[in-house]
Amino acid sequence: MRRLLLAALLLLLCLSACGSGDRLADYGDTPIEIVGLTAESFSVTPGELAQLDCVSRTAAGATAKAGTVNAYGPLLNTFLAQYGAQASDFYKIRFLCNDGYKVVLRDELLTDYEVVLAVSYGKKPLPEDMRPLRLLIPEAESSKWAYGVIRIEFEREP
């Protein structure tokens, strides 16, 4: 009986662990290029970002097209802290998307707002067209949100 209970417990733990990883299963290792943060460009993946301290944030856009976003991922400053930096250290940060869309953050968007690097929608994976990364700034206009982020460029000076 004791072995049966132990086996059931192990099965339950395995199932719950597998469920949490499923949200990134299809795109967790997709590279996102990082330029200008360090001397050399490098890549980070949604799976690596998900290992950082993550937050859940919800924001509603001003239009139906923007919709409501339930984002889960690290804050930009949490990511930058690994490199001894914070968003306010930069003149601007540019997010480039797989469809050609660009979002440029500067001034108060880098100092006064939470910037979420969303790797999933809570326990649900990002929709395929929004992978590998979604940018959400809950308090900002939805025009500053982006999806399909494949490159982040950091500029320290004008």
**Residue 66 reports pLDDT greater than 80:** no
Nearest to 27 by CA among 48, 7, 8, 47: 47
State the CATH number of the domain containing residue 144: 3.90.420.10
Q: How many residues does the chain have?
A: 158
Weakest-pLDDT range from 10-14, 40-44, 117-121, 123-127: 10-14
Distance CA 82, CA 56 (A): 20
- What per-residue confidence (pLDDT) applies to 13? 38
In the predicted structure, residue 42 carries a pLDDT above the cut 90: yes
Which class for 100: exposed (0-12), middle (13-18), buried (19 or more C-beta within 10 A)?
exposed
How many domains is the chain partitioned into structurally?
Answer: 1
Q: Residue 139 is encoded by which pair of tokens? A: 């308090």
* pTM, entire model: 0.83
Does the pLDDT value for residue 41 go beyond 70?
yes
Mean pLDDT, range 142-151, rounded to an integer = 94
What integer pLDDT is reported at residue 79 of this predicted model?
Answer: 98
**pLDDT on residue 2:** 43
pLDDT at 136 over 70: yes
pLDDT given at position 64: 67
Flag whether pLDDT at 8 surpasses 50: no
Average of per-residue pLDDT across 65-78:
89
- The answer, yes or no, to whether residue 18 has pLDDT greater than 80, is no
Residue numbers of the domain that contains 34: 2-155
Residue 71, pLDDT score = 93
